[in-house]
Amino acid sequence: MKSIRIWVLGLLTALGLGEQASSAAVSRFPWERVPGVRAYDFKPDLLARVETLLEEFRSYGKCTDTVAACLQKNPPSPTAQRLARDVFTLLSKGANRDQAAKWVEMRMRMATTPDVRTFKLDSATPLGNRNAPIVIVEFSDFQCPSCVKAAPVLEELVRRSGGKARLYFKQFPLKTHPDSVTLAKACVASGTLGKYWELCPRLFEVGVKFSEDRLWDLARSVGLDPAKLKDEMQRESVLDRITDDKMEGLKNMISATPSIFINGKELLLPVSLELLQDRLEEELDILAGKV
């Protein structure tokens, strides 16, 4: 039996799998405390590089020791668990030490910044539970390519939150996009006609290749009368609302879109559903006093 085990281990090594299969056993790092990481699937040299960084990088929140030390706490620090997973993922995808360090710095700034913004939301219509503890505010432009990509991600985030998040949309049309004001008017006007979240997210489809015919066709598809929508778009109150949103953004030093805030804290890293879900959970932990 022993000879068979030796033969199997030799075969795995010859196939380049031996190091992966034994890596978790070789490492003394508490990878079992990092949800979502299957350390034994990776080679020891990668784990060693990650572990070295986690013994260098500091955590934040209630535990401000190294990430490695905070993982050893009982219970382990949720922040340390997040950072360990992030650093592991980054290095497994080819990131270097400086890139990982910058990511950790941005995560700390997002969670602990004293620069928490407040926005006018009383008259705004949110997507999601009006009483949700996580408030997401996005300043966006319907002809901004990055906004086109971010819009469905934010909607999916709210849908998956189980009533814990609500999303508010702020108009921030850019001068470089000639039809963005017209699209912003259509969005605001649809709210007074009771079709705000039916129309506004789909305006990004029209913004990519704008024409008034496409706008009116879209309006019909969500149950709006194009003539009524056009009349509503001409109202001074609609332009005033857009101006108010834009001025509010400028006062908050916003110069680009999308600009996204989670409980008043600006998102400083590229938009992804995974990151946004994690930030949502992190904010819930902060509200609960866990981190």
Could you give the 3-state DSSP secondary structure of residue 56? coil
Question: How far apart are the C-alpha atoms of 272 and 270, rounded to whole Å?
Answer: 6
pLDDT in tens, 191-250: 999 999 999 999 999 999 999 999 999 999 999 999 999 999 999 999 999 999 999 999
Which residues make up the CATH 3.40.30.10 domain(s) of the chain?
A: 127-275
pTM of the model: 0.88
- How far CA 94 is from CA of 31, 55, 67, 216, in Å, comes to 20, 19, 20, 47
SS3 content of the chain, % helix, strand, coil (to 5): 55, 10, 35
Question: How far apart are the C-alpha atoms of 218 and 42, rounded to whole Å?
Answer: 49
Question: How far apart are the C-alpha atoms of 170 and 185, rounded to whole Å?
Answer: 12
How is residue 28 written in tokens?
């003394």
Asked if residue 129 lies in contact with residue 166, where contact means CB atoms within 8 angstroms, the answer is yes
User: Inter-axis angle of helices 273-287 and 97-112, to 10 degrees?
Assistant: 40
pLDDT (0 to 100) of residue 27? 62
Question: How far apart are the C-alpha atoms of 219 and 103, rounded to whole Å?
Answer: 41
How is residue 278 written in tokens?
């994690």
| Close Cβ partners of 215 (under 8 Å, ≥ 6 residues apart) | 182, 183, 186, 203, 206, 226
Indicate the DSSP class of residue 77: P
- For the ranges 27-31, 268-272, 281-285, the lowest mean pLDDT is seen at 27-31
Q: Would you say residue 26 has pLDDT above 90?
A: no
pLDDT in tens, 155-186: 999 999 999 999 999 999 999 999 999 999 99
Domain 127-275 has CATH 3.40.30.10: yes
| Close Cβ partners of 52 (under 8 Å, ≥ 6 residues apart) | none
* Nearest CA among 257, 271, 22, 9 for reference residue 142: 257
Report CA Rg, the chain.
Answer: 24
